[in-house]
Amino acid sequence: MENGQLVTYEAFGAVGDGKTDDMEAIIRAHAYANEHTLPVRARDDATYYIGGRAGAIVIRTSTDFGKAHFVIDDRSVEVPGEHLFFVNSDFDYYPVHIDKIDKGQKRIDIPHEGNIYVKAVNENKRVYIRYGANANSGAALRDYFTVDGDGNIGTWMPWQFDEVTEAYAKSTDERAITIRGGIFENIVNLDTLENRRYYGRGILCTRSHVHFLDMTHLVTGEPEPEAHYSSPYGGFLNVDECVDVTVENLLLTPHRTYYFTMPGGGINAMGSYGITACGAIGLKLIGLKQTVDILDTRYWGLMGSNYCKDMLLDRCVISRFDAHQGVHNVTMRDCTFGHAKLQVIGFGECLIERCRMHGGLLMLLRSDYGSFFDGSVTVRDCEWRILPYDKIGYLLAAGNNGKHDFGYPCMLPRNISVENLLIDDTETNADYAGTYLFSDYDTYSEEFANGRPYPYGLPETVTLKNLRTKSGRPIAHFKDERLFPGVKVTEE
């Protein structure tokens, strides 16, 4: 079953001819490798076909997919929402007792040994109460953090937990593994417009200290957008509830934008992602690229995340970065972002350095979650290209009418610093209305002047240094100054 201490799929019955379903052989090969802590190697010239039968390929050892091709056929799937490959932890969650957690707390008393990863929940407090077309009743307050052997919390705690209704911990995997290579092709599902559901059918990583390297993901069989069918995908690679995962030199294919019928009628878009992360701490995305033009609006976009902390994007060229339910500390360095832009809410420090952005918004604070960022945003040494079809440019766009309870106070970033930003507005048309630092987050009215039930917080400091446009047009601070009383912009 081993070839020089390498486990192969062929030793467990895989054919690799692109026609025979090799799912069960791949499952057995990895089960054996996990039991004996052996690496796995795919055959370079193989095409492994995986049909729609339910099953889980559990990976707990280093795996080299090499140049092998994996055809994942989603046209008839027994369990659409499940992933095929599970890069699992050696450790399981166990319940722990926590009375409360204070915002900014630095230590915690939980019986444990070594380094652990903790998930805390307060089911009696709702946050991220979404507003707009996809409105919902929100999610239970939750946070994810690490604790070392001495009880020190390794990440900032942005929430106040007056009570913790449930909490779980697991040891972090100190045995690092590498998942390398492979060409993975999803033949998309054939669901009808009335049969909306999210598909998995990719890789789910819940293990700490994993390095994904040199992988390719392709998408085939997609309908034209006008057909309004096929169910969306949650992501080919999903990194959830783990620590220190690096994703390097992945080439991914975005899905087209899929649609569904709204309960009250009409068609609405559903997002399909190439890579997603939830509760990941210390996630590094390096050299991530996509197979289609980052300005092609027929495709939804590549990257989405929830509840992540201390995230790094380095040398990525992608159409979308989207932090739905809060990111805490994110650095984007030497990246290029396309038509779906940077869509962010969250906490801490957001650093955008030596990046290139496209479109009428440099950065969007998502209005469906209150356009809040409790922290600082720094834009440094970047270039922002306004596209020909853009009618106006906003460096920071937000929307909050002060009438909706999102479950937390909402605010623009407390501190904003923009240094050495070149705005390429030379492709704009005659009807371009100009470039502004802030968008109008609401319409000013007498009601606004008299106060709203959920007021929107304004920046404490705004510092600008060496902002310039290629056209020589001036950059205005506010479209409607009445929305920004007391906000002083310091220019150097």
Side chain identity, residue 191? D
| 127, 224: one domain | no
Domain termination site, one of 132, 152, 171 = 171
**Rounded Cα–Cα distance for residues 420 and 408 (Å):** 33
Q: What is the pLDDT of residues 438-474, one digit of tens each?
A: 999 999 988 888 889 999 999 999 999 999 999 999 9
402, two tokens: 């002060």
Q: Do 36 and 142 belong to one domain?
A: no
Of 301, 336, 371, which residue is a domain's last? 336
Q: Domain range spanning residue 375?
A: 345-492
What integer pLDDT is reported at residue 271 of this predicted model?
80
447 sits in which H/E element: helix 446-449
Per DSSP, what are the bridge partners of residue 72? 50, 186
- CA dist., res. 231 & res. 254, Å (int): 14
**CA–CA separation, 204 and 314 (whole Å):** 22
> What is the pLDDT averaged over residues 271-292?
96
Beta strands in 110-156 (DSSP E): 116-127, 139-147
> Are 276 and 288 contacting, i.e. CB atoms less than 8 angstroms apart?
no
Pairwise CA distance, residues 330 & 312, whole Å: 6
Q: Give the single-character DSSP code of 5.
A: T
Same domain for 195 and 68: yes
DSSP letters for 391-428:
S-EEEEE----S----SS-EES-SEEEEEEEEEE-TT-
Quote the mean pLDDT of the chain: 94
pLDDT tens across 187-206, in order? Answer: 999 887 677 788 999 999 99
> Has residue 1 got a pLDDT over 60?
no
Question: Over the Cα atoms of the chain, what is R_g?
Answer: 24
Percentage of the chain lying above the pLDDT 70 cut:
96
Q: Taking residues 417-425, what's their average pLDDT?
A: 98
Report residue 264's pLDDT band, with 50, 70 and 90 as the boundaries: low
- Quote the percentage of the chain above a pLDDT of 90: 86
Are the C-beta atoms of 419 and 465 separated by less than 8 Å?
yes
* 257 and 358 part of one domain: no
| Cα–Cα distance measured from residue 455 to residue 267, given in angstroms and rounded to the nearest whole number | 32
> How is residue 104 written in tokens?
């900014």
Q: Give the C-alpha separation, 382 to 358, whole Å.
A: 11
What is the domain-level CATH number for residue 74? Answer: 2.160.20
Among residues 149, 171, 193, the one where a domain terminates is 171
Has residue 261 got a pLDDT over 70?
Answer: no
Same domain (yes/no): 35, 138: no
| pLDDT 10s digits, 331-367 | 999 999 999 989 999 999 999 999 999 999 999 999 9
Pairwise CA distance, residues 394 & 440, whole Å: 9
Contact 370, 131 (CB under 8 A): yes
Given phi > 0 = left and psi -120 to 50 = alpha, else beta, which region is 31? alpha
| Nearest residue to 163 via CA among 128, 127, 122, 126 | 122
Q: Is the pLDDT of residue 267 over 60?
A: yes
Do residues 363 and 492 both lie within one domain?
Answer: yes
One domain for residues 438 and 353: yes
Of the listed ranges 17-21, 93-97, 197-201, 461-465, the one predicted with least confidence: 197-201
Q: With 90 as the cut, is the pLDDT of residue 270 above it?
A: no
Which helix (H) or strand (E) covers residue 50, if one does?
strand 47-50
Task: Say yes or no: 285 and 398 in one domain.
Answer: no
Q: Is residue 231 predicted with pLDDT exceeding 70? A: yes
Are 121 and 165 in the same domain? yes
Q: What distance lies between CA 55 and its chain's CA centroid?
A: 26
- Based on the fold, state whether residues 177 and 167 are members of the same structural domain: no
Name the band, by pLDDT with cuts 50, 70 and 90, for residue 403.
Answer: very high
Pick from 45, 33, 35: nearest CA to 6: 33
Please list, in sequence order, all residues whose beta carbon lies within 8 angstroms of the beta carbon of residue 447, skipping any fewer than 6 positions away. Answer: none
Across 149-164, average pLDDT: 96
How far does the chain reach from its first CA to its final CA, in angstroms? 68
Q: Give residue for tokens 């033009």.
A: 293
Looking at the 3D structure of the chain, how many domains does it have?
3
Question: Would the pLDDT of 2 be above 50?
Answer: no
Question: How many residues does the structure list for the chain?
Answer: 492
Together in a domain, 313 and 185: yes
459 within 8 A of 487, measured Cβ to Cβ: yes
Per-residue model confidence as pLDDT tens digits over 99-120? 999 999 999 999 898 999 999 9
Is there a single domain that holds both residue 56 and residue 73?
yes
* More confidently predicted of 51 and 267: 51
